[in-house]
């Protein structure tokens, strides 16, 4: 299927590069989509890229349970470069697993992962990707409808 003019598919490597750059610029914020009793829901998360996966922190509750007990998750992050007039979007689909092994939890605790919410978020979850896809596209000027 051809892509629309001004848009191109990102390679998997480019997708990871965009996610890392977004994270390092202080914007490591994305969304995780889950199914709760067969109904979709979506939650904002702070994330870091770690060894070809995405890691986030959370507390006990709906987001944790739906992430690790469900059939799979989707993660999405995007960004915008106003100087270039371009935006990007990356989607990762895969399995979310709670990091529970002591050494793995210790390593995760050392990641530069700082949630915006002040509540305690002691649980770490890793999204192991099955698919990674993304797009970069030119942002068009605002167009107003013609009366």
Residue 145 lies in a domain: no
Residue 2 lies in a domain: no
Q: Which CATH number is 85's domain given?
A: 2.30.110.10
Residue 2 has pLDDT above 60, yes or no: no
Cβ neighbours of residue 3 under 8 Å, at least 6 residues apart? 9, 135
Burial of residue 133, with CB atoms counted within 10 A of its CB: 0-12 exposed, 13-18 middle, 19 or more buried = middle
For residue range 8-18, what is the model confidence (pLDDT) as tens digits? 999 999 999 99
User: Token pair of 57, please?
Assistant: 């922190």
> Helices (DSSP H) in the chain: which residue ranges?
12-22, 62-69, 102-109
Overall domain count for the chain = 1
Q: Which residues of 2-40 are buried (b: 16+ CB within 10 A; e: fewer)?
A: eeeeeeeebeeebbbbbbeebbeeeebbbebbbeeeeee
Residue 143 lies in a domain: no
pTM to 2 decimal places: 0.84
C-alpha closest to that of 20 among 137, 112, 140, 125: 112
Residue 146 lies in a domain: no
H/E stretch holding 29: strand 29-36
For residue range 31-63, what is the model confidence (pLDDT) as tens digits? 999 998 888 999 999 999 988 999 998 888 888
Domain of residue 78, residue span: 7-138
Residue 49 lies in a domain: yes
The rounded distance, in Å, linking the Cα atoms of 94 and 39 is 18
Q: Round the average pLDDT of the chain to a whole number and report it.
A: 85
**Better-scored residue on pLDDT, 132 or 108:** 132
């Amino acid at each position: 299927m051809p892509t629309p003019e001004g848009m191109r598919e990102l390679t998997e490597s480019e997708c990871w590069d965009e996610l890392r750059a977004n994270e390092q610029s202080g914007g490591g914020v994305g969304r995780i989509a889950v199914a709760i009793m067969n109904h979709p829901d979506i939650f904002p998360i702070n994330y870091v890229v770690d060894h070809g996966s995405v890691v986030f922190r959370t507390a006990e509750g709906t987001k944790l349970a739906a992430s690790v007990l469900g059939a799979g998750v989707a993660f999405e992050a995007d960004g915008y470069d106003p100087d270039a007039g371009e935006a990007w979007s990356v989607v990762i689909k895969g399995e979310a697993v709670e990091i529970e092994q002591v050494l793995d939890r210790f390593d995760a605790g050392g990641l530069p992962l700082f949630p915006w919410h002040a509540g305690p978020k002691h649980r770490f979850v890793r999204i192991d990707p099955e698919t990674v896809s993304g797009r970069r596209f030119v942002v068009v000027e605002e167009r107003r409808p013609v009366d």
